[in-house]
Structure 1
Amino acid sequence: MAPSTNLQGIDDQLRTIIDANMDQAPARRRAREAFKDIQLSIDHCLFNMPTQGLKMNEMYEVNSRGMEIFSKSWIPESSPPKAAIFICHGYGDTCTFFLEGVARKIASSGYGVFAMDYPGFGLSDGLHGYIASFDGLVDDVIEHYLKVKENPEIRGLPSFLFGQSMGGAVALKVHLKQPNAWNGAILVAPMCKIADDMYPPWILTQILIGVAKFLPQSKLVPERDVAEKAFRENKELTAYNVIAYKDKPRLRTALELLNTTQEIERRLEEVSLPLLILHGEADVVTDPSVSKALYEKASSKDKKLILYQDAYHALLEGEPDEVIIRVFDDIITWLDDHSRDKTLP
């Protein structure tokens, strides 16, 4: 099904831009530019909030691997930020759609918020949806956020990782590589383990692992409708995320995600920073039982797990408004409690 099929009221020119091959960043950037006003006007509580009082900035910067990385920041105008929040987005996603609303909400509560698109995702360079090395992706995140931390506006402020789904795995790996660099992490439905029914059958998995050595970029992994499983409400709005990667996972990407979740499961005891873990009890995309295991096994002295009854995977996008508001309240309360009179460890 073409990406524009479920979108109503767009003209043929816009439809052509959206339906273009988005394997490379220029096509994704054209689509976002042509569509961003429509995206941010959709009827969703994340976008129904004013942006007055926020200083927003977008930029592209070439990293040490020669990849042009897109990033964005949201900073309160009227007072210094209480802390700096560094977002790690989920698989296939970008920081310019639903996460735009998430960032606005957190920033409007007095925080400086920073986000980037990983190489191969969103508006950053790279083959769309391709992760050649998860460790390499984590290193790209560390490199970018180290530069952001040099910003005089936030230097010395408490700094927190915010990881959603696969971004939870990114945040945990960042912490494991930089164990003393962060004041805490907020993990929303973290991908510490992919739910069993999202895997292909064992024998097919073994075949795909073998084929990945020769065809790493191929889209051969059986596709599951993640939006259908991740969103309890607002499923139709996922079509507006026009630069999200929605095709079958590439073989190497799937293998890297599998290996990463297995590594994180083995290393839960090494997690030592203050934690807020949020998970829907009805999540069938990432396994809430592993969030429970993370809470129990992490060596952090300061840790909190909140499970939301009947909630699905997309806690901040795909739930009824009252659930989304409750999750945000839990996040802001935790941040306020952990940002008072603290500096970098």
Structure 2
Amino acid sequence: MEENNDKNKTCSVLSSTYNGRPYFINADGQHVVTKCWEVQGGDKVIRAILLICHDVAEHCLRYEAFAEEIVHRRIQVYSHDHVGHGGSEGVAVDILDFKTYVRDTLQHIDIIRQIHSYAKIFILGHGMGGTIAIKAVLSRPKEFAGCVLIGPAITPTPDQASAFSQFIDKTAASFAPLFGVTKIDPDSLSSHPKEIVDYIQDPLVYHGRLRARHCVIFMEAMEELERKIYSIDWPFFVLHGERDKRCSLEGSKLLFEKASSMDKKFKIYPDQRHSLHHEAPEKAEVVKGDIVAWLVKRI
């Protein structure tokens, strides 16, 4: 694995590419493709680092517009496609252990830290990426200056938590782990027609049914996270759409109420859905502005 030593000219993780993109090799020998939105002017003008953890079934390039907004504030943005997502290696939206997502995220942090020795590092997670981000910070709280969560998956939705749904998922996972049990409704992500069409037409998005094994492992990760909420004592900002049907608004409320953090913020966005950064432009700009303001205040 050949490291790129020119830290100021490029923020590629490696000098070679996989599926046309920089990558790192995770502990399982899989290619994990990465993306960097670079602050112009070299390392000296970078004020902080933000690592984005994307949601289930999507990929990190869907955060392009959002990342460019952040970069304008001299915050360098990194992200990667989780294994089984986008351009990374692995069976589409399948995982044997949720800890793999967290482990890969921390490995990416280690690579970033080699490039930026002293910069403050923030992490942002959306949906399932929120679960990953929280678990990453819980693993290494001193590594991160703060955590931003957009519609995070903290607790199951009523549908996910129903005894019948869990029975079906666990039964299917036992006999046919790759069996598709549920599908993401694009309309649940945004109320903006263009954003819905973009999602549907995106070839890197997984449009099939979410697999039984993945659903069960994801549920177990949320259950474990819920038991650790009280131990969260680091800065965070949680944003949630009032009409989010993908991830539970009650979970975000629980996080805000039960976490022991002294520096915590919670905002509900009326009449908005799951992907707040992909709502209508005038609504998305408010969300981006709120996140930028929170980050800048803590740099």
Instruction: Report if TM-score (shorter chain) is over 0.5.
Output: yes
Contact 1:55–1:74 (8 Å) recurs in 2: no
Q: Percent identity?
A: 27
How far 1:190 sits from its partner (Å)?
Answer: 0.5
Secondary structure of 2:38's match?
strand
Secondary structure of 1:113's match?
strand
Q: Deviations over 1:8-36 (max 9, x none)?
A: xxxxxxxxxxxxxxxxxxxxxxxxxxxxx
> Match of 1:229?
188
> Match of 1:325?
285
Secondary structure of 2:260's match?
coil
Where does 1:105-144 land on structure 2 (aligned, <5 Å)? 105-144=69-108
The whole-number CA distance in structure 2 between the counterparts of 1:207 and 1:195 is 16
The whole-number CA distance in structure 2 between the counterparts of 1:256 and 1:142 is 19
Q: Deviations over 1:231-281 (max 9, x none)?
A: 111322212321111211111100011111111122111112100111111
The whole-number CA distance in structure 1 between the counterparts of 2:10 and 2:168 is 50
Matched, 1:261 2:226: no
> Match of 1:72?
35
How far 1:178 sits from its partner (Å)?
Answer: 1.2
Residue 201 to residue 278, structure 1, CA distance change in 2 (3 Å): closer
Matched, 1:146 2:110: yes
Contact 2:169–2:213 (8 Å) recurs in 1: no
Root-mean-square deviation (CA, aligned residues, Å) is 1.8
How far 1:102 sits from its partner (Å)?
Answer: 1.7
Matched, 1:302 2:266: no
The whole-number CA distance in structure 2 between the counterparts of 1:228 and 1:292 is 23
> Match of 2:298?
338
Q: Deviations over 1:187-213 (max 9, x none)?
A: 01111123213x385235313303312
> Match of 1:241?
202
Structure 1: which amino acid aligns with 2:48? A
Which aligned runs of 4 or more in structure 1 are off by greater than 6 angstroms?
none
After alignment, is 270-279 or 204-213 more displaced?
204-213
Contact 1:90–1:166 (8 Å) recurs in 2: yes
Contact 1:163–1:188 (8 Å) recurs in 2: yes
The whole-number CA distance in structure 1 between the counterparts of 2:40 and 2:288 is 21
Secondary structure of 1:277's match?
strand
Contact 1:277–1:306 (8 Å) recurs in 2: yes
Query: TM-score w.r.t. structure 1 length?
Result: 0.77
The whole-number CA distance in structure 1 between the counterparts of 2:266 and 2:203 is 33
- Where structure 2 has 5 or more consecutive residues not aligned to the other structure, the ranges are 1-8, 13-20
Secondary structure of 2:262's match?
coil
Which structure has the bigger radius of gyration? Answer: 1
Secondary structure of 1:246's match?
coil
After alignment, is 73-82 or 185-194 more displaced?
73-82
The whole-number CA distance in structure 1 between the counterparts of 2:204 and 2:109 is 23
Query: TM-score w.r.t. structure 2 length?
Result: 0.88
How far 1:94 sits from its partner (Å)?
Answer: 0.7
> Match of 2:127?
165
The whole-number CA distance in structure 2 between the counterparts of 1:201 and 1:262 is 14
Q: Deviations over 1:43-83 (max 9, x none)?
A: xxxxxxxxxxx977440222222011100111211361110
> Match of 1:14?
none
The whole-number CA distance in structure 1 between the counterparts of 2:182 and 2:27 is 34
The whole-number CA distance in structure 1 between the counterparts of 2:211 and 2:229 is 27
> Match of 1:86?
51
How far 1:305 sits from its partner (Å)?
Answer: 0.7
